[in-house]
Structure formats: structure tokens, C-alpha cells
Structure 1
Amino acid sequence: MNINKYKVEQKISLGNIATFEEIDDAKKKLKHIRREISELQDIMYAHGKYSMLICLQGMDTSGKDSLVREVFKDVNARGVVVHSFKKPTSAELKHDFLWRHYIALPERGKIGVFNRTHYENVLVTRVHPNYILGEKIPSVTNINVLNDEFYHKRMQRIVNFEEHIAESGTIVLKFFLHLSKNEQKKRLLRRLNLKAKNWKFSSDDLKERKLWNSYQECYEDAINNTSKDFAPWYIVPADDKATTRLIVAQTILQTLQTYKDISEPSLDKETLANLDEFKKQLEND
């Protein structure tokens, strides 16, 4: 698989990018890849110098939750930490907008998954600018000052944040699950038609759906302004869930494989020289 075809390396227009792709035997291929991810994460944990941050963004029903479940199913539970960022709490609103994301970053050796991310601060807040007022920023006295310049400055702060953590050893990958409006309609109807899925539905889903075009414009602008070599965006077709999961998993695997310095630590000379003696002690115990 050529993962680079999904990578954003120049200005994009979401309307010109396909939302559907189907890869043969995607489920079977995923099983093999996620085992390899698990093995590499074990080595990364022992190595203890890198962490990985996976950022997932997408419209409602784009499959973020199930992707996390399926892609990381084989990873040791202590090796992956998932954070789903909801509406900021009162305590979080007393800090700058990146604070709650910074303290949730993965430790060295671990994979962190942000299911909805720091990009909500230039997406949801841009579609609903009144949310910014809750941050009580001194210079923001009303929503009229929340123009493109405000959000582009915030995007630059996000870029600076990602560059800083990348230089500190965090491998950053960002995925936009590119869903079509028609497929979202099908998935919302499924939530309504299947009793077991009813709990997933909210009337707010329909309100947000009416703002589809606004969200697409905000996503496009954010992706174009923040896809960098040290923290690239990948636009992944999301209409077929099995294919989406495979593409994300393959991207994670191939990225980890490029870090040739990630290896299991060697035993110190003294321990290595006395391995036979340690074995005898245990065998004679």
C-alpha cells in the first residue's frame, strides 16, 4: 500500500478527494498488521525514547471509536492510552486551550490516541464561535473579533505545540476520516433503526449535520495550514470502515518501521557475562 497517496503534502480541496475506497481482504490484512504494531510497540516500550501520538478527526459517524477498537486490539493494554476529548470542563477552561491536551500526551514507550483532538479548538469553535467566550480570553470581548486571523494564529500555536513534542521524541500522525454526507445519513439512520444502536443517537447530530459545509470548510483550512513533515495529516476515505482501519493501521506500522534506532536495549556487560551463573542459581533453587 502506498500510504503517501493519503498524505497531505500540498494544498488540498476536500471536495476533490474520494470518500470511498475498498481494499480486498481488508479485515484479514488488518489482523496481521495490528500484530506487527503490537510487536513494535513492545520494542518501543523497552527502548523508552519515543512515544507516538495518533490524532483522529472526522465528522460524526466517521468511525473513530470502532477504528480505535479494531486497530489497537492486539496492543498490550499498558502500551496504548486513549483520550476522547469532550466539551471542556470548568477546570480545563481555566487554562489555555492546549493545556488539557498537553497533560494527556503519551509517556515515552507508549502510543497515545486522541479521539477528537486539539483541532476541535479550530473546528467546533469556528463553527460555533460563542464557545470561545467560555475560555474568558481577555482580548475576546465578543464573537465579532473571532475572525480568520484569530483562528490562523491559533493554528500556528498548534503547529508550534506539535513541533515541540516531535522534537522531544513524540511521533505525530494525524488522520482525517473523510466521510461522505450520504454515508453519514445511512449511519445515522442505522442508529435509529437498530435498537441496540439507539443510545448512540442524539438530536444534536442532526443540528450539526445541517452545518456540514461549514465544517468541511473549517477542516480543509485547518488541514492546509497544519500538515507538516513533523506532524503530517492523512486524509483517509471513510465510507468503507474496513478499508479505513487498514489504511490507518498500515500508516502507523510503516511510520514506526522507519525509525531504525528503535530497538530492544542490550544487557549490561556484567549481567551478560553472568547469564550462565544466574541460570544455574535458578535451576538449583
Structure 2
Amino acid sequence: MSPTCELADLVLPSTHWTERDYLADEVCSEWVFGQQKAVEPLYERKSDVWFWRTFGHRLSPEWWPWESDEELFDWQLEQTHAGVTWDELKEKWIHHVPMMPSRDFEENGFGTPTGRAELYSVIELVSGSKPFPEATEPKESVYATPDVAKAYPLTGVTGRRYPIYYHSAFRGIPHLREIVPEPQVVFHTSLAEELGIERDEWVWIESPTGRITMRARPSDGIDPRVCVIPHGWWQACPALGLPGYPDGSSNANTLTSDRAYNDEFLTPGLRSTLCRIVKKKEGE
């Protein structure tokens, strides 16, 4: 049960990907894959495909007429003009879908207000934004908000990836958790020396919104003005006796918020924030 699941009133048991058939067309829609279950689902687990198909059928049978997942897969393959059925795809495993160049715009134009391929965006102009795309400074940064940066001089980046983990998953698997057992914030060696912080020491990472804790990983391979804050840490690994962080104590999202957002699309800055590294006091 992840922290997200714990917020729900009802949690349904979903199959693992090894327990479900699935039609994948994730490589530019040029290839389709017949992912087939290796084992039957345990307990009362049902696939996501089964759930949405059944749910849709109960709400609106005319829009969700398929009586089985296989029927739905056949319909999906028909829409892509793959020239293959689900049963045939299961035999081949992978099938190439010829990509036909679309010339629909010759008769119907493009899906823009002018009907043309727009380099000058009329929608952006009408909305009060700039019709030509351009790079803009984040709403909150050392340049855009220098007063905030006086107290929070580092630019924290939250998009770091671990090759062994997938977003917030797999930290409960012992042989993976042994490789990266705990969350590590990366910042420049000179800052660690200035603050008297040793490698693997637990430190605070603070922003105008809140603070979290991670182990320090000083490095010469990072800009002194930047720190890298990994996301996705919540799960425990009982087999190794390593804790989880369900209270958000190492949750990178605690540092970000909607206080800084993009004017054109109103999207918050979820992958960067002004922050600072603070050495923990004894007993903290």
C-alpha cells in the first residue's frame, strides 16, 4: 500500500504485469507487442484492461460493447490498420505497422484557428501570451526572485533517476536496495566543506515550502549552485531492516508547490525549486 493508495476509500487488487495480457504500441505506434501473461492472476486480482472495460460497459454498453479483453484488443488492432488479430499477434509477439503519411490536411486543413500550420500561435495571442515560443526564466529562481534566493541560494533539481529503480518503485527489493539503500542529495564538495558536512551524513534540505532529510553525497561533478534531490522515496525494505519514509520526511514534493507556476499554462514548478542544505544539529 503506497501513500497514494492510503488516501483512497477503495483499493482494488490489480494484476502484476506478469499476470495479464496487454497490447502495447508504445514505440511511435510503429510496432505493436503482444504482451502475454506468464501465470494466472493470484487471488482476486484483475487487470486494468478488465477493470476499465467492465466499468465502461456498466456505465455505457453502447460505447463499451466488448465482452472480453481479446475482443477489445482486436478492435484496437483494427483501428491502427495493423493487419493482424490478437491471436495472430500472440504467435508473432511483435508486429510492424506500416506508417502511412497523413495527407488529411490537404482537404481539412490543420486543427488550428487559421486551418494552417502555425508557427505564429493565434491561440497564444488571443490568450494574452506570446505567439512565438521562447525560453523564459522560471517564476522562482536566483534571477527571478533574488530576495528569496538570499535565504535559499541553491537550485534544487528533483528529476534524478536511479537505473535500478523505476520512479517510486522497487525499493522493497533487497538486492536493489543494497545498491542504493537510502535517499542521497548530491551537492558540491565546496558547500559540504563550508558547512562541515561529511559524506553519508543526514542533512536537511529546506525550501520556502518545507524541509526533508536525506544523506549527503558531496561531489565535484555538479555545479556549486545546484543540488540534485531524488524523488520517490517512501517504501521500506523489511528484509534488510531499512525503513520507509511514509510521513514525507524524504519526499521531494514537500519542497515544491504551486507558489511558482508558468503564466501561459499555469503548470507548477515540480522539478526545480530554490532550496538550501542545512547541517543537522545533534538530536534532530
TM-score range, shorter chain: under 0.3
- Structure with bigger RCO (C-alpha 8 Å, 6+ apart): 1
Greater helix fraction, Structure 1 or Structure 2: 1
* Superposition TM-score, scaled by structure 1 size: 0.22
If the length of structure 2 is used for normalisation, what is the TM-score? 0.22
Larger strand share, 1 or 2: 2
Q: Give the number of the structure whose alpha-carbon radius of gyration is greater.
A: 2
